[in-house]
Structures are given as structure tokens and as C-alpha cells.
Structure 1
Amino acid sequence: MAESTSPPPRRTSVLEEFHEARIEFYKTWGPALLLTLIGFLIAWFFVKPAPPDTVVIAAGPPDGAYYAFAQEYAEVFAENGVTLEIRETAGSIENYRLLREDDGVQLAIVQGGTAPPDSTEESYEAIASLYLEPVWIFTRGETAETDLRSLAGKRIAVGPDGSGTSSIALKLLAANGLEPDDTETEDTSVDRFAAVPLSGVAAAEQLLDGDIDAAFFVLSPQSELIHDLLRDDSSRLVRLKRHDAYSQLFPFLSSVTLAEGVIDLQQNLPPEPIPQIAPAANLICTPELHDAFIPLLLKAARRVHGSGDIYVEPSRFPSLEFAEFRPHPVALDYYESGPSLLQRHVPFWVASLIDRTKIMLLPLITLAIPLFKLAPPVYRWRIRSRIYRWYKVLREIDQHVDRSTAEQRERNLNTLSEMQQELEEISVPLSYMEEFYNLRLHIDLVRRRLESVGERSATAPAAPHG
């Protein structure tokens, strides 16, 4: 039998090998990457959207402490590329109304004890108690009053409607059996007073001019207005001797003492210790406020209020000590663990992006690990399948070599030549060349067996006829 000759093997160029390797990579790793990407996109729908670049905070009147503190918060926000828009309001009551009715307002500074009667713990979320703001009650006269019941029948500036001052003044007076003249009640034991809707400078001026008999203020002890009233001989600061009772009856109030001389040591203002009561100023939000802003707000509050004042020691505020609503989960975590590593060392927007993607890590890892563990065996199977798919054919030829006819042997030799030709053209990685050359050796082995059987059949004597 003439020995068949096969054409020389075609050499594969580097570009062709690179192209084939890339195709193999896509076929093997592509499904794993695609499934992981799909899982990533599905998880993305459950991630809270990126925080907006503008936040609105309801503060108070422009000459009030809330507005001034909100301006300091705005500086911290600006350092982090966010605009804190300050909404001017009449005070805490209006702030609550805006949180409830205005979708654009999700953040506010409010005075403790001013929450609407229909609000629940779930209506708002507490971010921080900021500081204690004492209630200052000034009257005219030679001696300082010690009991609010003595204000019956007087003209009293209780603050404008919608303000925190008005809310707490009316509560304290009502607890002492005093109601405004315009209040309808059948209780004849109730004493009356004339409520004047003034506060701040206007109320102080009327008090000093004698147009009103008393005035309520909820102001910082650093307020120049308070200093002026303490220095004026015609006004007296009420010494609430029952201050402990107020703090026990109203949980949002704290009993504090204005130490002798703490306002002005040279003039010894006040000339004696003054018992007072003080609600806390609280920073609250609606549940719709983006979580990413909570650490930024607490950073601003710590910078502004962390140094303490004449009533509290440093580092007491901000805290959740006087929170009237459920704490915001992010704020609670901040107080327990402090700012995260990201919040301390990376810009606000980067930290926000990483925090938002945390929810995607679990499904991403859950999908990626098994898929990428499965990919290498699949790759090995695909490479070896190029070689092993011929072994079934090779085994069938080998099993029937001894019983094959000349025609079958010729057909099988042609099949082996085709196999040999294909092996010259396929490309496999170097790490799989052992299987490649083993197949070539096995093809050659079977070829030799076929040729040997053919030679024996050709030289064997013919069978005798009967």
C-alpha cells in the first residue's frame, strides 16, 4: 500500500493565536461576567439614589440662633460640595409644618417640647440634640419674681405665633393656671393675662418702656439682648424656685442654674445664682432625608456645638440625650462608632458612592465566586474537548481492527488521516500539549495496527475450496 503523504502543517501567526485565545476567553468567561453584571444591575435597583446636591433646612427668623447656626452648618456643607439652603421661618411650630407639608423641606432645627400633638415617634427621626437653650423670663419691678402665678392679669410678650417661644410660654403659664384673654373656657378658676405676640428686640423695648409687664425669651446666654436686659435696672430675671418640678413634669425641660457672675464678672451679672429651665434645640429630619447627609450634619454639629457653653461641659453635645423621636439609624451608628474610615479620609461624594454600593456586595460576591470557580473547569473541558472528541472514534476503530475487511481498513485509514490533518490545524495552549501529543501517538499506533493487519491479510494463503 502506498504511503499517504499529508501537506506540511500550516503555521499559525501570533495575531491568529491571539484572536483564537480571545474568542476562547469570551466563550468561557463571558457567561460568568454577564451573569454577574445582571446580578449587579438587579441589586442596583435596591440601592438608594445618589444624594442631591442641595438640601433645605427649616431654621427660624434671620435674627435668631437657629438661623445663625444653620449658616455655620452651610459652611461645612459647602466644603463638601453640597448646598445647604436655609429656609427662613417663624420658628419651631412652622418648621414642623414645613416638614409635614413641604416635600422640599426634609430637615429642621426645632425646640424641645414643640412637636405637634398629632405627631408620633415615627413621624420624624432624631439626628442630634444640639444645645440647651434656657427660658428667660423678665419682668418689671424692684424685686425678682419666683413664681409664674404672680403674672396673672399682666401683659406678657409670649413670642409670635408659630415660634417655639410661644409654644413653651403658653405651656408654662397654662400649667400655672393662666390662660390668654382670648381663650374660651368655662373654668372660672383660671386666671387671665394679655398675650402679646412679640419676642426679641421688639419685646425687650416694650418691656423697658413699660408697655408690657413681662416677656419670655428662648435665647442663648451669649445673646446681647439678654446681657442688656440683665444690665438694665428696670428689668428683673425671674428666679424659678420650682425649676425642678418643671423638669419633672415636662420631660423635654432640664433644670439648670445660671451661676453668679457668669455673664459679666466685673459687674457681677447675675448678682446671684438664677435657677432656670431649658429645653434642648434638636436637629430632626423626615424619613425621606438621604442617609448620606447624616454624617455630614453630625460633623457640622460637632464643630459648632462640641465646645460646650456655660450650662454644659464640652463634648456633651451633639448627642441623642434629649431626642423626642426615634434616632436615625445612621446617627445612632455614628454616636456608637464615630465616623467611618471613609468619612474621615475620602471626600463626601466618594464615601457616599461606596456606602451606596455596599448593598450590592453580597449578591455580587454570591454570584461571582461560584461562577468564577466554575469557569476554569469549563475552560479546561473546552480545550480538552478538542482532543478527546476523537478518542471515541479512535477506540471504535481500534476495537474492530482484527475483524475489519480491506474496505473497512481503507476507510478507517482515511479517517485517521483526516484526524491527523485536523490536529495539525487546531490550536491548544502549551499547558495542554501533553494530551495533544498523546492523541497523535495513539493515532499513529492505531494506524500501524491497521497497516499490520492489512499486510498479514495480503500474505495469508487462500482458504481451500471443498
Structure 2
Amino acid sequence: MPPKLFDRPDYKGQFRAHTRDEFKAFLAFARHYWLLSSLILAGLIVLFVQTSPFPPKTVKIATGQPSSSAQILGEWYRDFFATNGITLELVPSDGAEDNLKLLQDGSVDAAITQAGIPAPKGSGLLSLGSIEFMPMWLFYRGEPVDQNRATQLMSQWTIAIGLENSGTYFMVRDLLKEYGLRPEEYSNLLKMPANESVEKILHGELDALFILAGTESHNLQRLLNAKNLNLWNFKASKATAGRIQYADAVTFPRGAVSLSPLFPEQDIDLVSTSVTLTVSPNLHPAIQYLFMSAAENHYANSENYFDRPGGFPAFLDRNFKKSPVAVKYIENRGSILKYDFPFWAASLIDRAWLSIAALLAILLPLTKLIPQYRKYHLYLVQNTHYAAMNELVIQIREADSLEALSSLDFKFQELASTIELTWAPAGTKEKYFFMLNALETIRRHIERQKTSLELLKENRVNPQ
């Protein structure tokens, strides 16, 4: 094997040395120009306070009833947050309207709500946008019915319509109005939790139930797989959605539950609202950013029977003020740094890059106005050492005894050790070696003076 003509450069070592040089030079510069350094530090503190880069480690979100879509969605978000080092605590509730109350009174930091529910007055709550469609389903027992008799049937059936503060009840109320029915006027329309209503209809204790749910809902899956239930086809879904401002017409496709046997056997038209993430105006921007990232990931990795052009997240509900963080995220689909940096760093740069650029635009010209700032450390140390060496040379010349010279030699050794350990940044090595040469000159002074004093002492002892 032929010998190596040269060794590979020590890139890592040079990088570490250069970084160390820059840091030490900066400290020396900061001490020398303390006023300018203080102004720069004050600017950095102001920037730090304004951007608040570090988010809280624990966040609370209001979800919904057990086994509901909101609860399952919250669990998915909890796992996503955990991978980013944030604990997301799930707070159960009666539903979407109850979630808003919890958010308004400060019990939680975020809430899973739905389009159409009005924002509490003066709350200042922010919307992170809609994250998926949430259809309204109507299941009923018995044989398939003529849906032209919808109003008559709904006024006669015993129907569960959800808890009063739930999203189901909120939308059912508007939906029934389109059929000329008011829940408060009919005793057959029962308010109860989703879990309870599912159990009752499966055991024949209800004629029908409304449930607002995504396909991931455990309650919905039980209903879809029940053999003794029929699914209502809202054939006028487009017309109904046109009358309800926040609603959309969606289609549950044929065979979505099972291809063998085929179920449903035909496309099912449904009326849907959209799930919205709503947050406190005080929620840290980085956490808002993380919610947006979670929403984007959930949409990309979920079965989407109910899609829209442009996908999710998107602003479909106009009842809440839009979060600036969410607006920017949706416009740009997140920061280009989100795949390479922690979420809080990507969020910080995304929010504060303009301020950081402005600060650098001020600082860089200032550093150029002060030439050779990296050499100031050696410059200051060099002046101190040369002054000490000059004083030592004078004392050596004036030494009139070997004892005095020995004391000065000890002092010289201490000074030499200090100078030899002096840090010299790149570009100043020549001046550093000049100091070492000066030490050799002083060492020769000591030797000559020692020789002179020894001769003088010998002449005194042995005069001729």
C-alpha cells in the first residue's frame, strides 16, 4: 500500500478551534465595548420576551363524550403531542357547546368544537380552522320507510337527539326546524348521552337516534354494523345544507363499511358540519403551530370519505376570529423548517424571522465599524504583559544581589507561564510569538545579570 502523501485535514478540530476563537473573541469584545454590548443584549431580551420561544409542557383540550369522535380525535392528538415532548391532557365534556364554555372560563387551553356554534361575546377565542367534516347520521329500527313521510315519522318516533350542550343537539335542532319540528315541543325527542342512546336503540328501547360522528367513532361503528338498524338517506342533503349556513352536503360511499357483503348498498347522502379547533387567545403560538401540524398529519393519514377541494385544515366557520398562526400555516402549509427543527424552533423562526433579520441588519454593520474585533482579546492581554515585562527588565538591571535576582527570576517564571498559556485567536499568532521572543530576551537579561553579579561577588571575596 503506497504511503500517504499527506494527512487528511482535521476539519472537526479546526471547526472546534475556530468556534472557540470566535466565542472568546466575542467575550473580550463585549467586555471592552460594554455600552454597545449592553444595548445589543437589551435588544435580544426584548426580542426574547416578544417571541416567547419556549412553549408550556402541558396543554389541556376539551374533547367530548366517551367513545365519541372528539374523544378519539383527542387521543390521536395526545399521541402526536407526546412525540413532540408535550403532554396533552384530555378533558371530557358533554359535547361541542360544553367545550366552548370550558374554554371560555379558562378550564382548558383548546377545544374541539364545530362550525355554526356562535362565539361567546367578548371571549376573544381564536379558530385554528376546520379539520374534518362531521356528518349527522340518523339510524332507525324496523323496515325501510318512505322518506317523504319524514316529518310525520320524526314527530311519532321516540328519537334520541343528544345532550343539550352537545354538538349533536345543536345541529339536530337546526335540522329538525327544516322539517317543521321544534325539539322543545315534542316529548318523543329525548335528550341523552350518545353511549346511552346507542345502547337503548340496540336493545329496542328507542325507535331512532341522531348522532353527529366521524367514521372513527366507536359508537358509529356499532350502529353501522348492527343488523336490525336502517340508515337514513338525506336525499335532499344539498338543499338542506343550503338552508343551514354552516352545513355541507357529503356522501357516504357505497361499500364504505363492507365490500362483502356490500354495505351500504348505495351511496348515502348526509348533511354535515365541520370539526373546528378553537383555542384561547393566550395559547402559546408554538402550541397553536403544533395543533396545525397535528391537524395536517391527521388529515394525511386518515380515511377520508368526506373530503373537500384543498383538503384540511381550512377555514370553513366564520364565527370565530382566525388565529394569525393558523392563517400563516394554511397559506404556506407550515414552515419549510418543520421537518428539520423541533416544532417550537420552526414556529419561532416562522414568527420572528423578520425581527431577527432586522436585528442582524443592525448588528452586522456595527461589527464592521469596529475593525479586527477578534484581535482585541490578545491586544488587551498583550499590553498588560508587555508592561509587566518592561517593569521586570528594569528591576533586573537594578538588581544588586544574587538573592534579589533569584526573586526576580521566580517572578519571571510566573510571568512566562502566564504568557505561554495566553489564548491567541486566528490571525494573531505572530504577535503571540513576538511575546515569546520577548521572554527569551528577558531570560538572557537574567543570565547576563547573574553572571555579572557572580563576578562581582567573586572579586569582592578574592581581591587582587
Q: TM-score range by the shorter chain?
A: 0.5 to 0.7
Amino acid of the structure 1 residue aligned with 2:176: L
Quote the residue 2:167 is aligned against: 164
Range 244-253 or range 192-201, more displaced: 192-201
Change (3 A) 1:359 1:137: same
TM-score normalised by structure 2 residue count: 0.66
Mapped contact 1:145–1:238 kept (Cα < 8 A): no
User: Which among 317, 324, 329 is matched to residue 329 of structure 1?
Assistant: 324
Range 170-179 or range 91-100, more displaced: 170-179
> Partner of 1:152: helix, strand, or coil?
helix
Quote the residue 1:86 is aligned against: 90
Amino acid of the structure 2 residue aligned with 1:304: H
Mapped contact 2:68–2:219 kept (Cα < 8 A): no
Matches within 5 A, 1:310-329: 311-313=305-307, 317-324=311-318, 325-329=320-324
User: Which among 115, 137, 148 is matched to residue 118 of structure 2?
Assistant: 115
User: Which among 302, 308, 325 is matched to residue 296 of structure 2?
Assistant: 302
Q: Give a deviation string over 1:71-115, Cα, whole Å, max 9, x none.
A: 11111211111111111111101100011112x422111122233
Report the alpha carbon displacement of residue 341 of structure 1 after superposing the two structures with TM: 3.5
Report the alpha carbon displacement of residue 60 of structure 1 after superposing the two structures with TM: 0.9
User: Which among 342, 353, 361 is matched to residue 347 of structure 1?
Assistant: 342
Instruction: Say whether residues 1:30 and 2:47 are aligned partners.
Output: no
Quote the residue 1:256 is aligned against: 250
Change (3 A) 1:157 1:352: same
Quote the residue 1:398 is aligned against: none
Quote the residue 1:368 is aligned against: 363
Amino acid of the structure 2 residue aligned with 1:249: R
Mapped contact 1:132–1:311 kept (Cα < 8 A): no
Larger radius of gyration: 1
Instruction: Say whether residues 1:55 and 2:59 are aligned partners.
Output: yes
Change (3 A) 1:354 1:193: same
> Partner of 2:200: helix, strand, or coil?
helix
Quote the residue 2:4 is aligned against: none
CA distance in 2, matches of 1:26, 1:68: 54
> Partner of 1:126: helix, strand, or coil?
strand
User: Which among 215, 223, 230 is matched to residue 221 of structure 1?
Assistant: 215
RMSD: 3.6
Mapped contact 1:140–1:213 kept (Cα < 8 A): yes
Report the alpha carbon displacement of residue 205 of structure 1 after superposing the two structures with TM: 3.1
Matches within 5 A, 1:148-227: 148-150=150-152, 151-181=154-184, 183=185, 192-223=186-217, 225-227=219-221
Matches within 5 A, 1:423-434: none
> Partner of 2:43: helix, strand, or coil?
helix
User: Which among 100, 106, 109 is matched to residue 106 of structure 1?
Assistant: 109
Report the alpha carbon displacement of residue 257 of structure 1 after superposing the two structures with TM: 2.1
Change (3 A) 1:72 1:368: same
Quote the residue 1:142 is aligned against: 143
Q: Give a deviation string over 1:125-164, Cα, whole Å, max 9, x none.
A: 2223222221111223322352541211432200122111
Quote the residue 1:440 is aligned against: none
Change (3 A) 1:24 1:294: closer
Amino acid of the structure 2 residue aligned with 1:149: T
Instruction: Say whether residues 1:247 and 2:251 are aligned partners.
Output: no
> Partner of 1:171: helix, strand, or coil?
helix
Instruction: Say whether residues 1:287 and 2:291 are aligned partners.
Output: no
Change (3 A) 1:356 1:173: closer
Amino acid of the structure 1 residue aligned with 2:335: S
Amino acid of the structure 2 residue aligned with 1:157: A
> Partner of 1:127: helix, strand, or coil?
strand
Quote the residue 1:125 is aligned against: 126
Amino acid of the structure 1 residue aligned with 2:334: P
Report the alpha carbon displacement of residue 349 of structure 1 after superposing the two structures with TM: 4.4
Identity of aligned residues (%): 28
Quote the residue 1:459 is aligned against: none
Q: Give a deviation string over 1:159-185, Cα, whole Å, max 9, x none.
A: 12211111111221123221235x5xx
Change (3 A) 1:352 1:281: closer
Change (3 A) 1:289 1:310: closer
Amino acid of the structure 1 residue aligned with 2:330: Y
User: Which among 225, 232, 238 is matched to residue 238 of structure 1?
Assistant: 232
Report the alpha carbon displacement of residue 261 of structure 1 after superposing the two structures with TM: 2.7
Mapped contact 1:138–1:238 kept (Cα < 8 A): yes
Mapped contact 1:308–1:317 kept (Cα < 8 A): no
Q: Give a deviation string over 1:250-307, Cα, whole Å, max 9, x none.
A: 1321112223332222222223332211111111212211111233222222222224
Report the alpha carbon displacement of residue 236 of structure 1 after superposing the two structures with TM: 2.2
Quote the residue 2:270 is aligned against: 276
> Partner of 2:131: helix, strand, or coil?
strand
Change (3 A) 1:292 1:256: same
Amino acid of the structure 1 residue aligned with 2:117: T
CA distance in 1, matches of 2:213, 2:48: 47
Quote the residue 2:73 is aligned against: 69
- The number of residue pairs the alignment matches comes to 352
Amino acid of the structure 2 residue aligned with 1:270: P
Mapped contact 1:308–1:315 kept (Cα < 8 A): no
Change (3 A) 1:74 1:38: same
Change (3 A) 1:377 1:263: closer
> Partner of 1:139: helix, strand, or coil?
strand
Mapped contact 1:29–1:375 kept (Cα < 8 A): no
Q: Give a deviation string over 1:392-412, Cα, whole Å, max 9, x none.
A: xxxxxxxxxxxxxxxxxxxxx
Report the alpha carbon displacement of residue 224 of structure 1 after superposing the two structures with TM: 5.3
CA distance in 2, matches of 1:376, 1:310: 62
Q: Give a deviation string over 1:382-430, Cα, whole Å, max 9, x none.
A: x9xxxxxxxxxxxxxxxxxxxxxxxxxxxxxxxxxxxxxxxxxxxxx99
Change (3 A) 1:228 1:86: closer
CA distance in 1, matches of 2:281, 2:54: 16
Change (3 A) 1:228 1:341: closer
Q: From the two aligned structures, give the one with the greater helix fraction.
A: 2
TM-score normalised by structure 1 residue count: 0.66
